[in-house]
Amino acid sequence: MMFEKCVSTILLLQFCCAGCGFCGKVLVWPYEMSHWLNLKIILEELLQRGHELTILISSRSYLFDYHNPSAFNFEVIFVSGTREDAEKKVNEFLDAAVNIMPTLSLWESAKLFQNFFLEATEQFEEVCRKAVYNESLMEKLRETKYDVMVIDPVVPCGELVAELLGVPFVNSIRHSVGDIIERYCGHLPVPPSYVPVSMGGLTDRMTFMERLKNMMFTLFFNFVLQQYDFQFWDQFYSEALGKRLCFSWYTTIQRPLGSQRKASEIWLIRTYWDFEFPRPYLPNFEFVGGLHCKPAKPLPKEMEDFIQSSGEDGVVVFSLGFLVKNLTEEKANFIASALAQLPQKVLWRYKGKKPATLGANTRIFDWLPQNDLLGHPKTKAFITHGGTNGIYEAIYHGIPMVGIPMFADQPDNIAHMKAKGAAVEVNFNTMTSADLLSALRTVIYQPSYKENAMRLSRIHHDQPIKPLDRAVFWIEFVMRHKGAKHLRPASHDLTWFQYHSLDVIGFLLACVATVIFTVTKCCLFSCQKIGTGKKKKRE
Ligand SMILES: *[C@@H]1O[C@H](CO)[C@@H](O)[C@H](O)[C@H]1NC(C)=O
Ligand SMILES: CC(=O)N[C@H]1CO[C@H](CO)[C@@H](O)[C@@H]1O
């Protein structure tokens, strides 16, 4: 039996390799948390199609259990510090995200977010140094002759490794702070008049004041509030490569005329037009949001019975994702008391102490099969912190949302869903029981919310090619063709002043100035001539 299984698996693999024409080698530079959950889906699909995958991770990484056997190969970069340290750091961050950031203004909260990244520079640097300066590791990777690298650019260094190995790469990203990486390394156009800059919490229809705000945010993200220490990384990249590589505005300014720059071949963006506002983009940007979504599977019996007991009223699903642990007791209590007043049954993913005000209609779980619950016909609403993965599951199944955003892309995500009429936002910091209750009643009992969520769901499902297939297609395309050079805009070979046509505008202004000057001079001269001519005649 076992033997037969093995043989059929091998046959299947061969069939697939024949089917896709080609079995490639893929090197992955991932990031943790929700990023990994999304990337993993693509990698598992690649694995199924017979490609060989190697994942580069640091020994401090706490999400990957590289000791256990897995279909992925792990190449571990050994660094100081333990997984527990890393986990502690992330918990501190999550604590700040839940208990501090919501009390701050958008600006201050972004600043705090930035500080965490800047503080992490040292750790990112150690991982990078131990990877690129370990000759035996680099030689091993070089000898394997990878066909493509898949990179999550939220942590620097992936593109440096790709450049050193001479391997084309594909970026997978939701967005960077202020779209810096997409704008400067991908040349994604972001016109501030109608494209809200990431982490500004704005929509595509802006009043004058909002457009002003959008412009200010863009400038701040360019020059003040940056996710990385760009100068540091530019220096690091230059030392490792002997030349500059795209990393930032800073590199953009410093780049000598005519020098080539390596850039991502394809950008896989974790959103789609059900979620995004219509905006300009480039042909090497693929919007593959929701690629992790699947039809719902049957639920565990106990959970199903609980849901069925809700009768006509249905159920509400409540999860703050990775932030489940860190609510204060007071907050948990008034959330519970709001939930207790609903006629619906509530499934709440929560790990803290059981709140005293917990109603009979609410059950607490350590973990929820979120996608299966959102796909259940009795589910009426989803209370979410607004992570992209969760939002996409709700879009996929057409469930209206109550958003309690905290940090990173969450306020933006909820702003998008609000603008599309599929969500109500509740401010985590100032909310009362009554606010949460009224938001829930609105999305459950005002039919427009359900209708809009269903409309987004129909847009999501009505695509010529499924997002996961598109993501895999483009990665395989880059493998087959050693890149996607035909999609690369020539803007990558321009300097910033050529890109903005400042040289041409300057030239035209100079021409106009010369003409105006000449005409004025001529006029003055001829006026004088006529004047003196008349004078002469009179005499
Ligand atoms: C360099 O990489 C090799 C192979 O991955 C590993 O065995 C070795 O420990 C690394 N050396 C250092 C100094 O990290
Ligand atoms: C309620 C709770 O779990 N609080 C924790 C939040 O995070 C900080 C930092 O990791 C912990 O010290 C708290 O115990």
**Domain range list for the chain:** 20-291+466-488, 301-461
Cα of 65 to ligand 1 centre, how many Å?
A: 19
Per DSSP, the chain holds a count of helices (H) and strands (E) of 21, 13
Average pLDDT of the segment spanning 275-292: 95
144 lines ligand 1 (CB under 6 A): no
Query: What mean pLDDT do residues 107-128 have?
Result: 82
Q: Is 331 in the pocket of ligand 2 (CB under 6 A)?
A: no
Q: What is the pLDDT confidence band of residue 110, given thresholds at 50, 70 and 90? A: confident
- Alpha carbon distance 110, 177 (integer Å): 9
Considering only 284-288, 318-322, 466-470, 475-479, which range has the smallest mean pLDDT?
A: 318-322
Residue of 503 and 19 predicted with greater confidence: 503
**Residue 468 in this model has a pLDDT that exceeds 80:** yes
- Give yes or no for residue 469 having a pLDDT over 90: yes
Distances (CA, A) of 271 to 139, 178, 214, 303, 304: 36, 16, 21, 31, 31
Is residue 346's pLDDT more than 80? yes
Question: Average pLDDT, stretch 277-294?
Answer: 95
Atom of ligand 2 nearest to the CA of 88: 10
* Terminal alpha carbon distance of the chain: 124
Compute the Cα dihedral for 251, 253, 258, 264 and give only its sign: positive
Mean pLDDT value of segment 24-49: 91
pTM of the model: 0.88
**Ligand 1 neighbourhood includes 130 CB (under 6 angstroms):** yes
Give pLDDT, residue 353.
Answer: 86
Q: Please answer whether residues 242 and 199 qualify as being in contact, where contact means their C-beta atoms are separated by less than 8 angstroms.
A: no
Ligand number, closest to the Cα atom of 134: 1
Mean pLDDT of 168-186: 89
Please tell me if the CB atom of residue 137 comes closer than 6 angstroms to any atom of ligand 1. yes
- State the amino acid at position 251 in one-letter form: T
Number of CB atoms found within 10 A of residue 472's CB = 23
8 A C-beta contact, residue 388 and residue 174: yes
d(CA 51, CA 20): 10
pLDDT at 1 over 50: no
Q: Is the pLDDT of residue 257 over 50?
A: no
pLDDT value of residue 23: 87
Say if ligand 2 is within 6 A of residue 99 CB: no
pLDDT band of residue 192 (cuts 50, 70, 90) is very high
Higher pLDDT, 377 or 252: 377
Instruction: Check residue 407 and report its DSSP letter.
Output: S
Secondary structure element (H or E) that encloses residue 457, with its range: helix 447-461
More confident site: 451 or 186: 451
Tokens of 497: 């002043």
pLDDT at 538: 61
Substitution candidate for ligand 2 out of 326, 350, 351 with most atoms within 8 A of CB: 326
CA torsion 502→265→184→164, rounded to 10°? Answer: -110
Is 50 exceeded by the pLDDT of residue 352?
A: yes
Contacting residues for 273 by C-beta, under 8 A, at least 6 apart: 287, 459
Does residue 371 have a pLDDT over 70?
yes
Report, as an integer, the average pLDDT of 180-202: 90
How far apart are the C-alpha atoms of 396 and 403, rounded to whole Å? 17
Strand partners, 437: none
Judged by average pLDDT, the poorest of 85-99, 130-144, 194-208, 253-267 is 253-267
Which of ligand 1's atoms lies nearest the C-alpha of 76? 5
Least confident piece of the model among 259-273, 340-354, 493-507: 259-273
Can you give the pLDDT at residue 18?
Answer: 47
For 136-169, how does the pLDDT look when each residue is reduced to its tens digit (9 = 90+)?
999 999 999 999 999 998 888 898 899 889 999 9
Q: How far is the CA of 112 from the centre of ligand 2 (A)?
A: 18
Cα-based angle 519, 523, 524 (whole degrees, multiple of 5): 120
User: For 350-396, where are the E strands, in sequence order?
Assistant: 362-365, 379-384
Average pLDDT for residues 208-219, to the nearest whole number?
94
Pick the CATH number of 20-291+466-488 from 3.20.20.70, 3.40.50.140, 3.40.190.10, 3.40.50.2000: 3.40.50.2000
- Lowest average pLDDT, out of 156-165, 277-286, 433-442, 453-462, goes to 156-165
* CATH entry, 301-461, from 3.40.630.10, 3.40.50.12280, 3.40.50.2000, 3.50.50.60: 3.40.50.2000
- Point out which residues pair with 189 in neighbouring strands: none
The alpha carbon of residue 443 and the mean position of all alpha carbons in its chain are separated, in whole angstroms, by: 26
Give the mean model confidence (pLDDT) for residues 493-503.
86
Q: What average pLDDT does this structure show over 8-29?
A: 66
Complete edge-to-edge strand list for the sheet that includes strand 401-403:
362-365, 345-349, 315-319, 379-384, 401-403, 423-425
Quick one: which atom of ligand 2 is closest to the CA of 328?
Answer: 1
Segment 68-88 mean pLDDT: 85
Mutate which of 323, 325, 329, 333 for ligand 2? The one with the most ligand atoms within 8 Å of its CB, which is: 325
**281 pLDDT higher than 60:** yes
User: Which residue has the CA at smallest separation from atom 13 of ligand 2?
Assistant: 326
- Separation of alpha carbons 179 and 87, rounded Å: 27
Q: For the segment 372-428, what is each residue's pLDDT rounded down to a tens digit?
A: 999 999 999 999 999 999 999 999 999 999 999 988 889 999 999 999 999 999 998
Burial 315-328 (b: 16+ CB within 10 A, else e): bbbbbbbbbbebbe
Q: How far apart are CA 214 and CA 222, in angstroms?
A: 12
Rounded Cα distance, 87 and 136, in Å: 29
Does this chain's domain 20-291+466-488 share its CATH topology with 301-461? Answer: yes
Kindly give the number of the ligand 1 atom that is closest to the alpha carbon of 137: 2
C-alpha 479, offset from chain centre? 24
Side chain identity at 164, as an amino acid letter? L
Query: Which is higher by pLDDT, 280 or 221?
Result: 280
Mean pLDDT across the chain: 87
Q: What is the pLDDT of residue 247?
A: 54
Q: Is the CB of 329 under 6 A from ligand 2?
A: no
In contact, 122 and 58? CB cutoff 8 Å: no
For the record, the structure tokens of 428 come out as 């985590």
Identify the band that residue 294 occupies on the pLDDT scale cut at 50, 70 and 90.
very high
Q: Which ligand is nearest to the CA of 331?
A: 2
Q: What is the pLDDT of residue 533?
A: 67
